[in-house]
Every structure is written in structure tokens, then in C-alpha cells.
Structure 1
């Protein structure tokens, strides 16, 4: 996730590295979808993961109300976005893994400790 503030924009080096990583992931997924298996070269330097289990970990996301969100249909229900990649609150937008969002009003912090 990248957070942009008024004082600090995106670090271009970090963004470039993440773009390259995501391109490699997309290429690998495309190859798998086309029926290809990883090659010996793909796996020869891969680390061995022993005693592994599937797990779930939290990732940054946004939660809020979207009056015309395509899924789930309807209004008045909160949605949880896919993984949050870029948050530019001062510019009024966010980019998640699946789509752009315009940021409306944030949730009220009334009642929270200052």
C-alpha cells in the first residue's frame, strides 16, 4: 500500500519495484491460466516452505458505504474493498486492487480519544 500525503508523494523507486513485481505475478498467473506449469528454472531458486498451512492475514483496505457499488447490490450496506494499494485522502481518491474509489466523507471520529 502506498499512502500519499500533502507533504510526501510516492517514492518512485519503491513504486517502480512494486510495478515490476506485480507484472511478474500477472505474467505467471496468465501462464498458469493458459495451462503452463512452472518450469525447473522457475522453481530452482525457490525456497522450501516446510510444515506449511493455509492461513489468512489482514491486508489494508477501506470500509464504507457506496450507494451504487456493483457488488453487493443495494444501498445502505457497508462494503469492504479489496486490498488497498494507494490512498490519497487529500486528493479525494484511493486505488484498490480491483478499482478506483472517490473518497467521500470519512467516518466520524466523534467520541474517540484525542
Structure 2
């Protein structure tokens, strides 16, 4: 997840790195849809992972009461969002893998008034 200030994206290195990373992912998915092979996309010397296994790890997300969600109807419906990707430093907007959320009153208004800056 990357935090950012609206109107101040230029110079935000973490934002740019994440943007490039996700752009490459979408470009690969587009190419697969067009018929490219994984071997074509992986390049000449992709890393190899031995003794691998599929595991799951926690990812940042949001929980809260949803109003106006296009797929989860209801007023004040408790939800858990998909993985959180972007969050404005003032805590007013969040972008998950699926969509943007306008953030209302936080569960803990005291911490939100200080801004959410997990790496500062």
C-alpha cells in the first residue's frame, strides 16, 4: 500500500515504483489475453524458485460499514475490502485492488486526525 497526498504525486518515489510495478502486471495480463506465452513474457533468464509452496499472508485492507457499494447492496453493510493499494495521507480516500472508496468517519477519529503515515 502507498500513501499519498492529493495533488502532490510528483516526486513520490514509492507511488512511482508501485505504479510501474502494477503497470507491468497489467501489461503482462493484456499480452496473455492476446495470446502471448508465459515464456515470451518471462524473458531470457527469469529467476527459478525451488521447493516452493503456496501460502497466504495478511494484506492491508479496510473494514467498515458500506453505503452505495455497487456489488454489496445495503445501507451500513459490514464489509472487508480487497487489498488496499493507495490511501491519502489525510484519510479521505482509499483505492483497493477493486475500486476507490470515499472514507467517512474512522472507527478511531483521534488517530485519523493525525493522518495515516505507517512509515513515518
Residues 18 and 99 (structure 1), Cα distance of their counterparts in 2 relative to 1, 3 Å cut: same
2:13 equivalent in structure 1 = 13
What TM-score does the superposition give when structure 1 sets the normalisation length?
A: 0.76
Does the Cα contact within 8 Å between 1:65 and 1:76 map onto a contact in 2?
yes
Does the Cα contact within 8 Å between 1:61 and 1:84 map onto a contact in 2?
yes
CA distance in 2, matches of 1:99, 1:12: 22
Q: Which has the higher strand share?
A: 2
1:55-113 CA-partner distances (Å, limit 9, x unpaired): 2111111011112212222234311111112212525111112211111111148xxxx
Q: Greater CA deviation, 60-69 or 10-19?
A: 10-19
Residues 41 and 66 (structure 1), Cα distance of their counterparts in 2 relative to 1, 3 Å cut: closer
Structure possessing the higher radius of gyration over alpha carbons:
1
Query: Over the residues paired in the alignment, what is the CA RMSD in angstroms?
Result: 2.5
2:24 equivalent in structure 1 = 24
Count, aligned residues = 107
CA distance in 1, matches of 2:91, 2:41: 44
Residues 91 and 56 (structure 1), Cα distance of their counterparts in 2 relative to 1, 3 Å cut: closer
What TM-score does the superposition give when structure 2 sets the normalisation length?
A: 0.72
| Counterpart secondary structure, 2:72 | coil
Stretches of structure 2 lacking an aligned partner (at least 5 in a row): 110-120
